[in-house]
Amino acid sequence: MSETSPEGLRRPEAAQSPEALSLGDALKAMRETRGLSLSEVSARIKYSAVQLGYLEACDWSRLPDGVPLRGLVRNYARFLGTDVDAALKLLDDAVGPTRPRPAVTPLGARRALQQADMSPKGEPAHRTWAWLLLILVLFCVVGVYAINRGWVPEQWLVFDWLKALRS
């Protein structure tokens, strides 16, 4: 037998007990109920059909961990018009907690701030100003050269000292 859902759609017997369904089975049943293919869903939510297939098959080893997996489930559930929190709960039951942990603890906050001031190579962040200053000086030298060679129109030289560079 089949049962009628609140939307008026018929559900197969396997969909009657939500406890018996895995996250992948539930998402697949909802997608098939709406008559959508994996490629149609993929085009709408911008995840590959292969990833969606792995999700429906509950092949967690072929999917990303943590926040990207939660985003995939959240977008898929939102697109299908189902309860996003319930889908994320099923995900947590299947793979364990996937919520991001805070990156900075109160005790490690000072060290994290010190590391944030360093570039990936270990150079202090203030050295980027030296590069900007070097680029600015190079730009000025090229500008003076262009004025001296006559490449800049006379109307652009608003200061008398710039006109003096031309001669």
H-run or E-run covering 156: none
Choose among 54, 29, 51: nearest CA to 42: 51
pLDDT at 11: 41
Task: Parse the chain into domains and list their residue ranges.
Answer: 3-95, 126-167
pLDDT at 75: 92
Give the span between the Cα atoms of 28 and 31, in whole angstroms.
5
Please give the chain's pLDDT, 167 residues, in tens. Answer: 444 444 444 344 444 444 557 889 999 999 999 999 999 998 999 888 999 999 999 988 898 888 888 999 999 999 999 899 998 888 888 887 765 555 545 555 556 555 555 555 555 556 778 888 999 999 999 999 998 888 988 888 888 888 888 77
pLDDT at 155: 87
Choose among 25, 31, 18, 3: nearest CA to 86: 18
Chain-centroid distance of CA 138 in Å reads 37
Class of domain 3-95: mainly alpha
pTM here is: 0.49
pLDDT at 112: 58
